[in-house]
Amino acid sequence: MSDQQPDISDLRRSLDGVDSGIVGLIAQRGRLIAEIGRLKEHGTSAIQDADRERQVLAGVEAVAADLGVSASLVHRIFRELIGDSVAQQARHLAGAATGRLRVAFQGSAHAYSDAAARKYLAARGAEGDLAGYGTFGQAVGALLAGEVDLAVLPIENTSAGSINEVYTLLREHDLFISGEETWKVDHCLAAVQDVPLSSLSRILSHPQGLEQCAQFLQSLPHAIPASYLDTAGAVAAVAAMGDPSVAAIGSAEAAQAHGLVVLRHGIADSQDNYTRFVVLSAAATPVDVRIACKTSLILITRHEEGALLRCLEILSGSGHSMTKLESRPRPGRPWEYLFFLDFEGNAAEPRTAAALDELRLAAQYVKVLGSYPAKALRHPAHPGSLPDAPAAEAPADTLEAVAADGATAGHRSRQYRLVDRASRAADTLVQVGDLLVGGSGFAVMAGPCSVENAEQIAATAKFVRDHGAHVLRGGVFKPRTSPYAFQGLGWKGLELLVAAGREIGLPVVTEVMAVEQAQRMAKDADILQVGARNMQNFDLLREVGKLDRPVLLKRGLSSTIEEWLAAAEYIVAQGNQQVILCERGIRTFENATRNTLDLSAVAVVRERSHLPVIVDPSHSTGQRRYVAPMAWAARAAGAHGLLIEVHPAPEKALSDAEQSLSFGEFAALMSQLAAVPGPSRATVKAPNANLP
Ligand code: PEP
Ligand code: MN
């Protein structure tokens, strides 16, 4: 019966056979991709190769043309397949996510953040348990407390702009960006029944949702907009109320989950409304250099002309394109700004690492928030393509050109790079309020060894201010040789010190002894002192290096100048360039003085480093009658200032009584030093100085 037509079920069976064949071929393709991935594991070639992709597409389109198949259909299918292969290889290089990830987001189930977090996990082939939190701060709190592995928070929206609260959290906490995700926001209007829009009396949504649908809402003058905590919560509330005259603006997914009817899709003013999310973790996660990455950082520029431009030139000059620059006010520093900056690059790549080092030198403070696989790159034609051979060598005049030998004249040390004079010819000026420490200025920091009570610190503060001191000192956590000696007033003492400083208008410096004290102390103290005994407490150095506060680093009791500068490097390498060195005497065989003031260190440090260096004639001599002569000598040797202990009744001081100057002695010293020019002052911009 050869003329019998095959019936439809036969044809469908044949079609099913062809379809399984296609899937089988896709599986075969996947195995080849995996093999290529394993080869790339040991090489340096980027996993995404734009030229190779173009070749593959051209090849299959040519085959399609031969077979009379639509080239554009084949193009679309293969784009998807290639995208999947790249994701597969990236997953392989990143290492498969182990176990289920616990992920925090802000809002309730089905919020846009929830959807974005799920999309992020799906792309990584990871499983997760998602938990919604009331606020961004609570989501971050859960991350820092170790209750979740990741927090997915929105950072910017293409129509509403940056989400400032998230930027503030990034600045205030020890957080890292380990990924990003984008989500197309499609606002819908949903209600419990299919009612005419004219019958609506109230519309609930998150303020952002209401703002993004402002034009649509204007077309419904009888419906009153009402703010809600989040869009998914607004949808849930409408479902719970059951009132057909109330509607919510949210996602179609949320409406469906709560059994609402979508009255209108796509009601946002702009149809291209995307939100970018950052994926936060509590530790930095290095990413394989073959995965196209973005790096995010917080930058505070130096107090120099053209400082921001110089930083941007470092990035563009090293072939890194910037994808975002956001300026935010610096809390507690009126008319000063910090910048959030994103650029294409991976800190694990030598080229990017060298640029970051240069940036650290050019800026006052750099906090690298992380390098993470890029989602939204600016050059869609070459998504993620990296240069074939990343330049492993930085240009000769940058930091990589470290000489092999150590401490010779015109020397470069192998122990430190960023604090090396060879890396920066100009003196670093450390800004404390409007005071600049370093350069040609001479700054005097004075006050008691320890804060003892309110009257003592207030009286000393006023006296030293009236006699020309620029910074008020006072210890509150005291490193004492004996555990039975006075240990300082602790946090209560800090309160007294800060109050006394504010009262008389001087910034304050006090010693931080432990890692756990640093963040809290940085909120109120203007300069954090790392004492001689802690000069090589590397955890403490790293911790103050992460903070945006000037650090006074005293020389260790028996540390060489090279060790001291290497300790400063610990701080600077973390991003905080605001280090003031302090020579305070070293242990020698000589016992006529408490320590031996190594004044030659001032000359050596000024030659070897661009950091400012001051002298402490109090701890170095241990006896008040030697303080004034050594203060003079320090000035003559080229120090950038002094740290001096002063007490209203030195003989009654609870610590370092013998070396503390009386008010009279301090006044006499300062009047003699008055012949010396004071420190430079920063020009603080007037409120409207930026306006044309
Ligand atoms: C101090 O300045 O209070 C102090 C304890 O100094 P050092 O760390 O130099 O001994
Ligand atoms: Mn002291």
Question: Per the structure block, which two tokens stand in for 26?
Answer: 């896709």
Q: Which of 231, 275, 301, 621 is catalytic?
A: 275
Locate tokens 């389109």: which residue?
61
558 and 586 in contact (C-beta within 8 Å)? Answer: yes
Burial (CB count <10 Å: 0-12, 13-18, 19+), residue 264: middle
pLDDT at residue number 77: 92
Last residue of a domain, one of 220, 237, 267: 267
Confidence of residue 95 (pLDDT cuts 50, 70, 90): low
Q: Is 89 helix (H, G, I), strand (E, B) or coil?
A: helix
Summarize the confidence of residues 423-444 as an average pLDDT. 93
Of the listed ligands, the closest to the CA of 616 is 1
Structure confidence by residue, pLDDT tens digits, 161-175: 899 999 999 999 999
Last residue of a domain, one of 223, 241, 267: 267
pLDDT at residue number 96: 53
- Domain annotation covers residue 203: yes
483 and 599 both lie in a single domain? yes
- Domain annotation covers residue 299: no
Of the listed ligands, the closest to the CA of 622 is 2
* Segments of 94-187 assigned E as strands: 101-106, 128-133, 150-157, 161-162, 176-184
Residue 343 falls in the annotated catalytic set: no
Last residue of a domain, one of 218, 236, 267: 267
Task: Report residues near ion ligand 2: CB below 5 Å.
Answer: 449, 656
- Domain annotation covers residue 501: yes
pLDDT at residue number 271: 83
Structure confidence by residue, pLDDT tens digits, 258-300: 999 999 999 999 888 899 999 999 998 888 888 889 999 999 9
Confidence of residue 388 (pLDDT cuts 50, 70, 90): very low
Locate tokens 């799906």: which residue?
122
- Domain annotation covers residue 459: yes
- Report the alpha-carbon distance of residue 247 to residue 254 in Å, rounded: 13
443 and 556 both lie in a single domain? yes
Number of domains in the chain: 3
Question: From the CA of 458, how far away is ligand 2's center (Å)?
Answer: 18
Least confident span in 74-78, 372-376, 625-629: 372-376
Summarize the confidence of residues 623-643 as an average pLDDT. 97
Confidence of residue 213 (pLDDT cuts 50, 70, 90): very high
- In angstroms, the first-to-last Cα distance of the chain is 91
Structure confidence by residue, pLDDT tens digits, 568-589: 999 999 999 999 999 999 999 9
229 and 107 in contact (C-beta within 8 Å)? Answer: yes
Question: From the CA of 188, how far away is ligand 2's center (Å)?
Answer: 67
The percentage of residues in the chain with a pLDDT greater than 90, rounded to a whole number, is 74
DSSP state of 99: S
Residue 339 falls in the annotated catalytic set: no
Question: Per the structure block, which two tokens stand in for 621?
Answer: 């001599």
Domain around 73: 45-95
648 and 527 both lie in a single domain? yes
Confidence of residue 37 (pLDDT cuts 50, 70, 90): confident
469 and 593 both lie in a single domain? yes
- Domain annotation covers residue 137: no
Least confident span in 82-86, 134-138, 375-379: 375-379
87 and 212 both lie in a single domain? no
CATH of residue 658? 3.20.20.70
Structure confidence by residue, pLDDT tens digits, 492-518: 999 999 999 999 999 999 999 999 999
User: Pocket around ligand 1: residues whose beta carbon is below 6 Å from it?
Assistant: 449, 475, 479, 511, 531-533, 554, 584, 619
- Domain annotation covers residue 350: no
- Report the alpha-carbon distance of residue 162 to residue 666 in Å, rounded: 52
Q: Tell me which residue has its CA closest to atom 6 in ligand 1.
A: 531
Say if strands 613-615 and 579-583 run parallel, antiparallel, or are unpaired: parallel
- Domain annotation covers residue 637: yes
88 and 229 both lie in a single domain? no
Asked if pLDDT for residue 394 goes beyond 50, the answer is no
Specify the higher pLDDT residue, 45 or 635.
635
Locate tokens 């504010």: which residue?
502
Question: From the CA of 532, how far away is ligand 1's center (Å)?
Answer: 6
Question: From the CA of 427, how far away is ligand 2's center (Å)?
Answer: 29
pLDDT at residue number 683: 66
667 and 554 both lie in a single domain? yes
Taking the CA of residue 478 as reference, the ligand 1 atom at the shortest distance is 5
Summarize the confidence of residues 633-658 as an average pLDDT. 97
What is the chain's percent helix, strand, coil content, to nearest 5? 40, 20, 40
Mean pLDDT estimate for the chain: 89
Taking the CA of residue 585 as reference, the ligand 1 atom at the shortest distance is 9
- Domain annotation covers residue 134: no
544 and 674 both lie in a single domain? yes
